[in-house]
């Protein structure tokens, strides 16, 4: 019965990883609006340089602080810390000053005499924005690639299976420029071109334009409410 109800709802394809544990707010919001959302991850992440990252975290006093701009960088840090003995974990917790991307990062407080760099664990395809912003304030940054981002080849079979099950998506939501390129690589853009194409954010919008995709709308904010407002237009 539940499957029959899903098939009656308008199928929304979300090109993202579903929430791990707890309530997926995107699914909850769209389902309450009468849609059938299905999330399909387009990327996967592999940890790299973990031994070197462990060495740097072990010498964290060499750094002013550490800045995170992604969940995967946090997970890489957890991977390192969980391999340590409990005493060493406690020492790091006491001395670790963390910043996350946003106003707190750009307004990092430092003594003018501070010379230690900020440690920046990142992806192999990270953007230069955060480094340029911090360096423009005279704050040195030492980056280390701790994970690599790669396309999931399995996405082709997964999307074709969903189309066979639910029909052409009522809407396809792109969450990142990487998602656009992943579908292009797997020759899936043409299959989905006739659905309502929705972008989250200006960079994703621009990437879709480069591929000559007709964009139905772009969410003003990267949140479920903004997304459903666009889809309902």
pLDDT of 233: 85
CA distances from 37 to 11, 40, 41 (A): 6, 10, 13
The closest of 12, 11, 20, 28 to 225, measured between CA atoms, is 28
Other beta carbons within 10 angstroms of residue 134's beta carbon come to 20
How much is the pTM? 0.74
Instruction: Name the residue with tokens 């237009």.
Output: 233
For the stretch 132-191, pLDDT in tens is 877 888 888 899 999 998 888 899 999 999 999 999 999 999 998 888 998 998 888 988
CA atoms of 167 and 147, how far apart (whole Å): 36
For the stretch 62-119, pLDDT in tens is 888 898 888 889 899 999 988 888 778 777 777 778 888 654 444 556 666 778 888 9
CB 45 within 8 A of CB 149: yes
Number of alpha carbons in the 13 Å side-chain half-sphere of residue 211: 24
CB 64 within 8 A of CB 110: yes
């Amino acid at each position: 019965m539940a499957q029959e109800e899903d098939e009656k709802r308008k199928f929304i394809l979300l090109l993202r990883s579903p929430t791990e544990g707890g309530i997926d707010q995107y699914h909850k919001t769209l389902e309450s609006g009468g849609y059938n959302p299905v999330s399909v991850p387009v990327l996967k992440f592999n940890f790299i340089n973990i031994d070197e990252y462990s060495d740097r975290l072990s010498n964290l006093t060499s750094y002013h602080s550490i800045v995170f701009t992604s969940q995967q960088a946090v997970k890489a840090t957890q991977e390192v810390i969980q391999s340590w003995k409990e005493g060493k974990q406690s020492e790091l917790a006491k001395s670790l000053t963390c910043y996350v991307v946003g106003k707190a990062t750009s307004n990092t407080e430092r003594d003018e005499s501070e010379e230690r760099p900020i440690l920046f664990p990142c992806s192999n395809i990270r953007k230069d924005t955060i480094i340029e912003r911090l360096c423009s304030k005279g704050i040195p940054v030492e980056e280390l690639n701790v994970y690599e981002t790669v396309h999931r080849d399995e996405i082709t079979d997964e999307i074709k299976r969903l189309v066979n099950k639910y029909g052409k998506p009522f809407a396809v939501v792109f969450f990142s420029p990487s998602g656009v390129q992943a579908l292009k690589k797997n020759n899936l853009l043409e299959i989905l071109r006739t659905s309502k194409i929705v972008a989250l954010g200006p960079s994703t919008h621009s990437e879709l334009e480069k591929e000559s995709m007709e964009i139905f709308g772009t969410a003003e904010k990267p949140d479920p409410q903004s997304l459903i407002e666009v889809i309902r237009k």
